[in-house]
Amino acid sequence: MKSILQSKEMSIVAIVVLLSITLSFVSPAFLTFENIFDILKGNAVLGILAVGMTLVIITGGIDVSVAAVTTAVCVMAGKFLTVLPDSPISILLLFIVAPLIGVLLGALNGILVSKIQIPAIVVTLGTMSMINGIILYLTNGTYLNSTSFPKIFVDFANFQIFGVSVIVFIFAIIAVGTWYILKYTVIGREVLAVGGNKESSIRAGINFDKVQIFVYGYMGLLAGIAAIAQLSYTKAVDPNGLLGFELQVIAAVVLGGANILGGRGSIMGTFLGVLLLGIMQNGLILARIDIFWQKVVVGTIILIAVSYDQIQYKRSKDKLAKIEVEA
């Protein structure tokens, strides 16, 4: 019980509760059922991508191409929807084609990182630039709205279960499913082992290249699903809509307690990081704070949270080293 109360996740829960209470005084509309689920719906795409980024960061990698991949899948899926019939089969095909495109683009990153051994930041910066350039060339920045989509997709995007958007349920299923993969599957344990100590895991017989390709491929898979969520939320395709969004994804994961250098991270922590980021942004909007100052406030809080986490982590490592020396 003591270890649970002292965990990083509990400190984030405490911040979320404190921030929520404060914002409820600023705006009575904050702690309403509609607003809370609007926050979850509005940040579902961020959450889906952050879950995938968690696995990448645990292994010591980074993927700054995630927003570009999601946008690419959005564009291709949007074009695909315009030629599909107004039938339930269209939704099924969309959930097959979009993740498949994402997996292919993500696996490309994984192959370059693992087989050619190019640093992840270099690979994903390169693919991000290439994908963004190709998207803008092919679309010319053209905005595609829902009038071109089958009616059944629009109905799916508006579908609710017990008053909660289907997009929120997609996020929840992915978060729980990824938690299960990390905790109970062989590949999940290998991801954690590689993140904990790369050299030791390789000596233990873990295929490092396979793990790398898996995490980037899985990131691509979730980017494909996030693209569907984005299309459902905006009911449109905007080639510039997610520009710079990768920074928010990484921020959410780091806010959730993941170590940007690898070896530490959890799905629960990431979920709380997404929630914290969403609450901050929503609260600042309700407080009618200018959008420019919103960015300053959010950025400052992120820096403080990450700095505090790193200081606490270093203190715990120093304490452990001191105990080992005295022993």
- Which residue reads 């901050």 in tokens? 280
Q: Kindly state whether residue 226 falls inside one of the protein's structural domains.
A: yes
Q: In angstroms, rounded to a whole number, what is the distance separating the alpha carbons of residues 260 and 240?
A: 27
The residue range of the domain holding 61 is: 44-271
Q: Which residues pair with 145 in a beta bridge?
A: 236
Contact 213, 120 (CB under 8 A): no
Specify the pLDDT at position 185. 94
| Backbone phi, psi, residue 190, to 5° | -70, -35
227 occurs within a structural domain: yes
The residues pairing with 291 across neighbouring beta strands, listed in sequence order, are none
Torsion sign (Cα): 207, 208, 213, 216: positive
Residue 262 included in any domain: yes
For residues 19 and 25, give the distance between their C-alpha atoms in angstroms, rounded to a whole number.
10
Asked if 237 and 231 count as a contact pair (C-beta separation under 8 A), the reply is yes
Six-digit token string for 260: 């940007």
The C-alpha atoms of residue 187 and residue 14 are separated, in whole angstroms, by 32
Q: What pLDDT, on the 0 to 100 scale, is given for residue 2?
A: 47
In a domain, 209, yes or no: yes
Examine residue 125 and state whether it is found in any structural domain, yes or no: yes
Query: What sign does the dihedral 313-216-93-148 (CA atoms) show?
Result: positive
Residue 284 within a domain: no
Classify residue 321 as exposed, middle or buried by CB count within 10 Å of its CB (0-12, 13-18, 19+). exposed
Instruction: Show pLDDT as tens, one digit a residue, over the chain (327 residues).
Output: 544 445 667 778 888 888 888 888 877 777 777 888 888 899 999 999 999 999 999 998 999 999 999 999 999 998 888 888 888 888 899 999 999 999 999 999 999 998 888 889 999 999 999 999 999 888 887 887 777 788 888 888 888 888 889 999 999 999 999 999 999 999 999 998 888 777 888 888 888 889 999 999 999 999 999 999 999 998 888 888 888 888 889 989 988 888 887 778 889 999 999 998 888 888 777 777 777 777 787 777 767 766 766 676 677 666 655 555 555
Residue 53 is assigned to a structural domain of this protein: yes
- Per-residue confidence (pLDDT) for residue 264, from 0 to 100: 81
Closest of 308, 210, 292, 297 to residue 255, by C-alpha = 308
> Which residues lie closer than 8 Å to 118 by C-beta, 6 or more apart?
112
Tell me what pLDDT residue 225 has: 96
The total number of structural domains in the chain stands at 1
Which CA distances in Å does 240 have to 136, 142, 189?
Answer: 8, 9, 37
- Cα 255–Cα 268–Cα 104 angle in degrees, nearest 5: 85
Domain-embedded: residue 259? yes
pTM: 0.90
